[in-house]
Structure 1
C-alpha cells in the first residue's frame, strides 16, 4: 500500500494575473535573509582583530552559515507540507531575527558563531517556502515573469553581500552588518505577518528522526569536507567527504523505504522527472561557476592588483546589478518563447566569460574585467530563471516542496564544491610554481588562470544540459511515480 501523495486541498494555481502579494513579500524576505550568507566575507580581518581569533577560525562565520543551510534544507520539504504558510514564515523570520540580534551584541567569537547558525536556520526555510508557494499560486503562463523577480533574491543577494559589507565596513564596525539588518528584517517580518495568507492545507505525518540525523550529518559533512580543501592536508577533507557521501547514500535508501509508510523526509521521486534532473545538473554547475568566480576575482583584484575591499566590491557590483535587473525581462521572454532561446545562449555566455578570465594578467584593463564579469552574471541570470521554472514545472504539485528543497540543498553543495575546487587548483598550481623558482605574484596568477580554465571546461556541461532541456516543461503526471518505480531506479540514482 502506497503513501497518500495527493495534492493538498485548495492548492490549485489560479489563472494568470499580476504577481501575487504573497510572492512579493516572500521575495523581499528571502532577499534579506540570503544576503547574510556572504555578507561576512569582507569582515574576516576585523573579526580577527576585535575577537582575537585566527584567520581559519574567523572563516567559520561563513562556513557555519553554509553548513547549517546544507544540514537543514533537506528537511524543509517535509516541514512545508505540514505547517501553514504563515506559520512557516513566522518561524523562519523569527529565528532569523533572534540570530541577527544575538550576532550584533556577541561578546565573543563563540556567541557570534551561535548567532550565525541561528540566522542560517531561518534562512534555510525561506527559499524553499518561496519556490513552493510560487509554483502553487502562480499560473504556468506567468511563472517565467514571476520567477524572473525571484532571481533577484536567490542569485543576486549572495553576489551583493560582499559589496554591501564593503561599504558598511568603510564607515563602521562589523557589528553594524547586523545592527542595520535588524530593523529591515523586522519591518519585512511585520509586513509579511500582516499581509500573508495561508496557501493550501497542511498535511499530517510524523517526522522520521533518523532521516533528519542522516541528512544533517551527511550533507553537513559533505559541505564541511569540501570547505576544508585547499589548506594543505587533503587526506582529512577527503575522508570527511567520503563519510558524508556514505551517510547520504544511507539517507537516500531510507527515503525510498519510507515511501511505503507515512512519507519520506525528502521525496527522491523528483529525480525521476527527466526535465527536473537536467535542470538540477545545469543549475549546480552554473552555481559552481558563479561561486568560483566570486572567490577568484576578489582574490585577484586585492592580492595581485592592490585594490581595497570597497574598490573590489564596486568593480563587481555592476555584474550583480545586471543579474538582478535582467531577471524580470528574462522571465517575460521565457513566458513568450520558452526556455531554449534563453538557456542555450546563456550557457555559451557562461563558458565564454570563464574562458575570458583565463587571460587575466597583472596589467589587464579593468574595463575588460568588468565586461567579462557582466557577461558572466547576465548569462547566469538568463539561465537561472528558465532552469528553475522548467525544473519545478515538470513536477506534480505535491512534489513542489521536495523539489525546492532538493534545489536548495544542491546549491549549498555546489557552492562548497566550487569554492573547494578553485582554491585547491589555484593553491596547488601556485605552490608548485613557487617551489620551482617562479616569482610569487606570477605563480598565483598562473594558479588563478588554471582554476578559471577548469571552471570553463566544467561549464561545457551546462551547454550540453541546455541543449537537452525542452523549451516548455512537460505536463506532469497527476500522481508521482510509485515506490516500486523508484526502487527500480535506485541503482541509477546511486550510480549518478
Structure 2
C-alpha cells in the first residue's frame, strides 16, 4: 500500500514541471494545460468523500485491486498519450486510483495497529504523503532533462505492477463489510459541494493569465453551488440513519482540533510550495530544476522525520510536539515576510528546512491523536473527513495565496510612476510574495493558539483490544 501510494502521489505533482513544455508539444494554451492538474484534484475532491462508504461496501482486497487497476490503466494511457485529450483521460484514471487508495491506507493502519504503536505507523504514511509529492518536481525535472515527458509514466508503471502482484498474493481482508444503505442524494450533494469548492478555488487562483479571479461569474457560481450543496449535505448527514460521511465524528474534540491543525498546516505548506518556486524563478531567475532542488532538502527531511515524530508521539503524546512545531513555523514565516531579491539562496533553503521540520512536528501527532479519539465504527468516516479536508485545504490555500500575491503586486504597481520598469515589476512581485507569507503567518499563529488546547487522548483497553480483534 505504501509503495503504490507513493507512486500515486508522486504522479500528482510530477507533471507540474512538464506543463510548460507540454503546452508546446500538445499544442494547447495555459488555461487548457492547467486542467491536467485541476482535473486530477477535482476527481480526488469528488471521490475521497465517498471513500468512507466504499470502505464499508467492499473488502480491502477488492478496493486495493480496483485502485491499482485504475492507476495502471491511467499510467499506461498517459505513457502512450499523443494528444491532450488522451492525457486528460489518463489523469482522471490515475486520480481515481489514488482517491481509492489514500483512505484505504489510513483505515488499514487504524484497524491493524494498536493505539500505542499507531504514531509510528502513521509516520510511515506521513513519509509517503509528504515525500512523494515533494520529490515529484525534482525527479521529473531530471527525467525531462534527459528523456521525453512520457518517461515520467513509464518509470512509474513497474512499481504499480509490483504492488498489485504483492497485493494479490499477500493482502488479507481486514475491514468489516457492513453494506450500509447507499444514499444517492448524499453522493450527488457531496460531489457538487466538494467539487464546486475545489473547482471554484482552483479557477480563482489559477496561474498567471489563466486565473479567473474572484469576480469571474464561473468562480462565483461554482463556489455558491459548492457551499449551498455542502450545507444541505451536512444537514442531511446528521438526519439520515446511515450517513455517507458521519459528521458526528466532530463531537470528539481532539478529532476536531486535529482537523483544524491539519487544515492550517496543509494550507501553509502547499501555498509556500507554490510561492517559493514562483519567486525563485521570477524573482531570483533560477531554472525550474534549481527551484525544485531548493525545496528538496526540506521536503526530504520532512518525510524522513515523519516516522521519528510518530515514535515521539507514541512516547510523549501530541502536546509539546505540536506547540513547538508551530512556534518554529511561525518564526520561519515571520522571516519569510522579509524575503527580497537580495536574500541569499542558502538562507531560503535553511528557512524552508526549518519550516518543514516544524510541519512534521504538527501534522503526524495532530492527525494520529485526532483519529485515536474516534471509536472503531467511526474509522472509515474519520479518515474520509480528514482526507477530504486535505484535498480541499490544498485548493483553498494555493488559491488564496496566489490571489494575495497578485493583489499585492497590482496595488504596488498602481502606486509607482513607471509600472513597466523591470525593477518596479520585481519590487511589486516581491511585495506580493511578502503579503502571501503574512497570510501564512497569520494562519500559523491561529494554529499556535489552538495547540494549547490539545490533550493526549486516553484510550481504554477494551477499545483498543476490540480493534485488534477485528
Q: Superposed, which structure 2 residues align to 1:261-300 within 5 Å?
A: 263-300=242-279
The residue aligned with 1:253 is 235
The residue aligned with 1:306 is 285
Give the SS at the match of 2:204: coil
2-structure distance, mates of 1:68, 1:477:
38
Contact residue 190 and residue 230 of structure 2 kept, 8 A: yes
Q: Superposed, which structure 2 residues align to 1:394-405 within 5 Å?
A: 394-405=373-384
The residue aligned with 2:442 is 457
Q: How far did residue 477 of structure 1 move?
A: 10
- RMSD across aligned C-alpha pairs, in angstroms? 1.5
Contact residue 279 and residue 465 of structure 1 kept, 8 A: no
Q: Which runs of 5+ in 1 are unaligned?
A: 1-25, 479-496
Contact residue 108 and residue 175 of structure 2 kept, 8 A: no
Contact residue 339 and residue 472 of structure 1 kept, 8 A: no
Give the SS at the match of 1:107: coil
Q: What do the CA deviations read for 1:138-174 (whole angstroms, capped 9, x no partner)? A: 0111111111111111222222221222111111222
2-structure distance, mates of 1:351, 1:113:
39
1-structure distance, mates of 2:323, 2:79:
44
Q: How far did residue 341 of structure 1 move?
A: 1.8
2-structure distance, mates of 1:286, 1:256:
28
Q: How far did residue 238 of structure 1 move?
A: 3.0
Q: Superposed, which structure 2 residues align to 1:60-99 within 5 Å?
A: 60-99=35-74
Contact residue 30 and residue 127 of structure 1 kept, 8 A: yes
Matched, 1:466 2:425: no
How many residues are aligned here?
450
Q: What do the CA deviations read for 1:420-444 (whole angstroms, capped 9, x no partner)? A: 1110000111122223225101100
Q: Hey, which of these two has a bigger chunk of helix by percent?
A: 2
Matched, 1:130 2:105: yes
Give the SS at the match of 1:228: helix
The residue aligned with 2:220 is 238
Query: 2:367 aligned to 370, 388, 400, which one?
Result: 388
Q: What do the CA deviations read for 1:244-287 (whole angstroms, capped 9, x no partner)? A: 0101111112222222xxx1111111111111001000000100
The residue aligned with 2:3 is 28
Contact residue 127 and residue 154 of structure 1 kept, 8 A: no
Give the SS at the match of 2:452: helix
Q: How far did residue 306 of structure 1 move?
A: 1.2
Q: Give the TM-score of the pair, scaled to structure 1.
A: 0.88
2-structure distance, mates of 1:463, 1:476:
31
2-structure distance, mates of 1:473, 1:107:
55
2-structure distance, mates of 1:459, 1:366:
24
Contact residue 14 and residue 136 of structure 2 kept, 8 A: yes
2-structure distance, mates of 1:232, 1:476:
53
